[in-house]
Chain A
Amino acid sequence: MKYIEPASLPEALEILSADDEARCLAGGATLVAMLNADLVEPSTLIGLRRIDELAGISVSGDHIRIGATTTHAQIAGDDRLTGNAAVVRDAARQIAHSAIRNMGTIGGAVCHADPNADFPGALVAANAVLEAAGQSGRRQIPADEFFLDYLETSLEEDEILSAVMVPVEPVGARGRHLKFSRTHGDYATISISLVLAINSGACSHARVAVGSAGPAPVHLAEVDALLTGSDLSGETIKQAGQKLMEAADPVDDVRGSAEYRRMIIPGLLQRAVDELR
């Protein structure tokens, strides 16, 4: 296995497109563990850490740009991630343990597309857009269309995720990533990512996504519509929770049965709303 650390994104893209078996390495929190367990055997590892344009968080106009190699810890500690973007920061805070947050990156996490991870739901709730860089240019993919299936994204084989763009609007919104897990640091059994804006008692914006509930975050436009404009009464939340529960398609595993995971969604949604109200 070869290891290369290109200094620029075009250079990295060139190596990637020349070698079908090459994999990009960002923080290594997951990929290195998979290498150790012989689960993947890439021919080449392309280390991304020297590529400056992939690193860091910047605010420009109507969105916050989070470079793909920004660590979970950097995101968790950045107080510019407020309003609509707060849900992303809240998710970053709850990923695994601090050692892993210092190592893992948002780009690595979303490209791995583990449906039990925290970022996918949070990015969908924040209506984020993922920027994919290819040799022929860049394209923007809404988070809703990025996560396709277990460990599968809409990124092409010769593309590299360059950044995650989180809209600033709605400015007055608040976000919560409610993670329910067996213990602190475990993957979520179910997570609720919620962005809400409330104006004089009524909900003026709502976007909710459920993680660990299927091959990709569960997000229903009709649920957002149901909540938006409502007074967020218990009955409304119950209906919303019911719809999300019906749409969820989780797996049975050590964290709980599929049925258990589905059934706890309404209660957790109510709790997430209560915490934001």
Chain B
Amino acid sequence: MPQSSQETPNNSYPGAPVRRLEDYGLLTGSAHFVDDLQLPGTLCAAFVRSPYAHALVNRTNTEEAAKAPGVVAVHTLPDLQPRLTDTRMATGLPSRSLRLDVKPGVLAGDEVVYAGEPVAVVIARSRYAAEDAADLVEVDYEPLDVVADCRSALHTDSSAVHRKLSHNMAAAFEFDYGNTEDAFRDADLAFRESFHLHRGGAHSIECRGAVARHDPATDHLTLWTSTQRPHGIKRVICDLLGRNDDSVRVIAPQVGGGFGPKLVCYPEEVVIALCATILQRPVKWIQDRYEYFLSTTQERDQYWDVEIALDSDATIRGMRGALLHDHGAYTARGLNVPYASGITLPLAYNIPAYHLDVYVALTNKVPVTPVRGAGQPQGVFVMERLLDRAAGKLSIDRAEVRRRNLVRKEQMPCRKSLRLRGDTEVILDSGDYPATQELALKHAGWDSFRERQQSALEQGRYIGIGLANFVEGTGRGPYETVTVRINASGNVAVASGATAMGQSTQTMLAQIVAEQLGGDPSRIGVTCGDTDATPLGFGGFNSRQTVIAGASAHAAARAVKAKAFKLASRLLEAAEHDLEIDGRAVFVKDAPDRRLTFAELARAASGLPGFKLPVADMGPGLEATESVIIDDMVYANGSAVAEVEVDIDTGRVTVLRFLVVHDCGRRLNPVIVDGQVLGGIAHGIGNALFEWMGFDEDAQPVTTTFADYLLVAADNMPEVRLFHLESDSPFNALGVKGVGESGCLPTPAAIVSAIEDALAPFGAKLNQAPLTPAVLWELIRSAPDSAPDTAPPGHWRAPDIDKDAYRQESLDGR
């Protein structure tokens, strides 16, 4: 069982482990997920998907499928095109670094570029009928050369992922500050390492799915979809279907996990919405797990080739190198994953000079978008492995090397020489990184580990310990709108563009509002993820909602409280500073009988026909809408220590103990924070040891069931201990930072560090993740024969790349 210790107890509503508003529905099974929607007359959809990673589509024959029992319609892109303003979906973020404009299609046209790309849709009276008929759609494919590996994608003789393009360099950009040449020229120690980091999919329990309904009387289109970003989906649908904003409503019902991939708009969402308007019947599509493996975005491969320069006392002088990132076949979100990887490397430490060339390569695989952590775990991994290596070369303890380079408390707020993707500054807002590490070392018994290791070794057991620090950028702006209203019935209603996908967003917002209005958060109703309830919004990603939506909820609740006090002051004839609020009423502190309930106040504020409002300079109603603008991110940090045992007969790793000291500023609800961190750690353990999205040389996915693709289950979780520091952020009124992703940031780095420590007798050098038993066993077996400088598995040397040789091109020929 995980243990958690609160270093800073706090009993006010924010800070208290209140029960989640979401619990009743989720624990009793009465919550509604998208597949629970049973609209009368609903038709079911199944998609025909490309079996090839790259092929021309010469001809599609839907006749047989259309005649199959129960089938209502079969559509290909040419059928839908007259009703679309464009055949491609603009779902990515803009960037000047993009060389190739490769937007995903609504359906594939004359070319398919990954196995699983949707080519046609079958709509039928039942799911069975739709799936059976999908098998009858005849597609004449002409296979083309496949780009299966991002390392060969940039070779000048590589075939193109898209036949219409001349190269595969989706983007090239760099991070650059300080003088790296000087840093390396005068260094006491400089060395170069390469890394191969693989992450798989996100694998939320609920796969994707959507239901659409069109109301002909009002020409309103409603789409319920399992998404992290209903507002983003609505934008794409309005644009592609040529609809005005008032005629489209997108709702995220209960979402059974997102973890990143549900933040982009997918072809199926557009097709389902369009088919509902064409057929004038509700249409439902529910993705199964096989389709999730094929067509839901993933994170996959990164290859790094990096050098670090240090003084003999382990002070870092600079770093330089290259990152090659597998982008997949389309730009579904943008460059945020490799950008986040590159920016994460120098965050936690003082690094005077940094240069990183980032190459983003197209491959004939499903597009890459963020998976929990969004490239940051890879950046942490590379940085932490380099520091371990430096420690070894300098014969200085691994923790000491870090101690000498961590950003110190007195440097806060610390302006880094880096820019975020939107060109805003990177300012580490608060935190005591060295103290965080010290606490982790203390709880882990770091100093006494060598004795434990020695006595284990005497029994033939190979145990090791590893450490990793991380700093995570959280709370991506610019805003999230929140409306707080006291209704005439006396209840408090909150609506936000924030979107819940299982991370207790409603409870978080309710706690913040309850702090201002008093009372029990469970009496507050919260509506999230509905574009009609809150027309402007962004949704859930980037560990942002507590920071961004939280700030607006805080401001809106304060505004409503001010209105309630102003009104009560007038009606009770008492000074505002003599009033108190308890979640149900406003009353006079010294005379609690002089009170007005929320219902009374709300009715008074809404006015009576022909009568003046009670307060002349206050508008009607007890309601406020706020969109607090936040440009700078806030930075959570933490230190993880892993203890592992390696079975040298098989290479199998057991994580014996794992602990994280975590600092996300003020914790609004410690139980929810623990849940988020633990979930992230589980994901990180998967990335360290298990999760592998395999493709063969034809870019065919080979791990498409959970029998092949391993996830961390409850029984693979080690004992985890969590400890918290609370360095309130000075950048927002609540002092909070995000927590949704942080657990997975240091976990692979700490575990691989520990494995390398356990296998020190074999001289193992570990520069990749995940590490399977077979890889480790091979290292153990070959140890006596291999030279100390043998390239480890996953070795990659950045080739000389002339960035200017890759032209700006577009699939549309623009």
Contacts and interface: CB of A to CB of B under 8 A. Distances in A.
A42 B329 CA distance: 38
A254 B702 contact: yes
B716 A184 contact: yes
Given A183-B713, A184-B715, A186-B710, A257 B649 contact: no
A93 to B, nearest CB: 14
A256 interface: yes
B10 interface: no
* Contact residues of A: prevailing secondary structure: loop
A260 B775 CA distance: 9
Contacts of B713: 97, 183-185
B786 to A, nearest CB: 17
Interface string A256-274: 1100100110011011000
B772 interface: yes
A50 interface: no
B710 A268 contact: no
B708 interface: yes
B290 interface: yes
Given A186-B710, A267-B650, A256 B774 contact: yes
A257 B709 CA distance: 16
A277 interface: no
A184 B709 CA distance: 13
A74 B727 CA distance: 54
Interface string A36-47: 010000000000
B773 A256 contact: yes
B774 A268 contact: no
Contacts of B650: 180, 189, 264, 267-268
A81 B411 CA distance: 68
Contacts, number: 50
Contact of A254 (B649, B694, B712, B778): B694
A189 B713 CA distance: 18
A183 B716 contact: yes
B778 A183 contact: no
Contacts of A264: 649-650, 777
Contacts of B715: 184-185
A267 B781 CA distance: 13
Nearest to A181: B652
A187 interface: yes
A187 B777 contact: no
Given A183-B710, A264-B649, A254 B290 contact: no
| Category for how many chain B residues contact A | 20 to 34
A253 B781 CA distance: 20
A182 interface: yes
A268 B715 CA distance: 22
Given A37-B290, A267-B650, A187 B773 contact: no
A268 B713 CA distance: 25
Nearest to A37: B290
Contact of B649 (A97, A183, A253, A268): A268
B781 to A, nearest CB: 7
Interface in B677-715: 690, 692, 694, 702-703, 707-710, 712-713, 715
Interface residues of A, number: 21
B59 to A, nearest CB: 25
B290 A189 contact: no
A118 B331 CA distance: 45
* Contact residues of B: prevailing secondary structure: loop
Contacts of B649: 264, 267-268, 270-271
A264 B780 CA distance: 12
Nearest to B290: A37
A97 B713 CA distance: 11
A240 B652 CA distance: 23
Given A182-B773, A254-B708, A260 B290 contact: no
Contacts of B702: 254
Nearest to B708: A254
Contacts of B781: 263
Contacts of A253: 708
A86 B650 CA distance: 25
A256 to B, nearest CB: 4
A97 B711 CA distance: 14
A198 B774 CA distance: 34
Interface string B128-141: 00000000000000
B288 to A, nearest CB: 9
A97 B706 CA distance: 13
A180 B651 CA distance: 11
Contact of B652 (A180, A187, A254, A257): A180
A40 to B, nearest CB: 15
Nearest to A184: B715
A234 to B, nearest CB: 13
A257 B773 CA distance: 11
Contacts of A260: 773-774, 777-778
B132 to A, nearest CB: 9
A271 B460 CA distance: 13
Contacts of B777: 260, 263-264
Contact of B772 (A97, A256, A263, A267): A256
A254 B692 contact: yes
A256 B777 CA distance: 10
A45 to B, nearest CB: 16
A271 B647 CA distance: 11
A271 B690 CA distance: 24
A189 B692 contact: no
Contacts of A183: 690, 710, 712-713, 716
A183 B290 CA distance: 21
A254 B701 CA distance: 12
Nearest to B131: A38
Given A180-B652, A184-B713, 14 more contacts: A180-B650, A182-B690, A183-B690, A185-B713, A186-B707, A186-B710, A189-B773, A254-B694, A256-B774, A260-B778, A263-B777, A264-B650, A268-B650, A271-B649
16 contacts: A180-B652, A182-B652, A182-B690, A182-B772, A183-B690, A183-B710, A183-B716, A186-B710, A187-B707, A254-B692, A254-B694, A254-B709, A256-B774, A257-B774, A267-B649, A271-B649
Interface of A: 37, 97, 180, 182-187, 189, 253-254, 256-257, 260, 263-264, 267-268, 270-271
The 10 closest A-B pairs by CB, nearest first: A267-B649, A256-B774, A260-B774, A184-B715, A254-B708, A264-B650, A183-B716, A183-B710, A180-B650, A182-B710
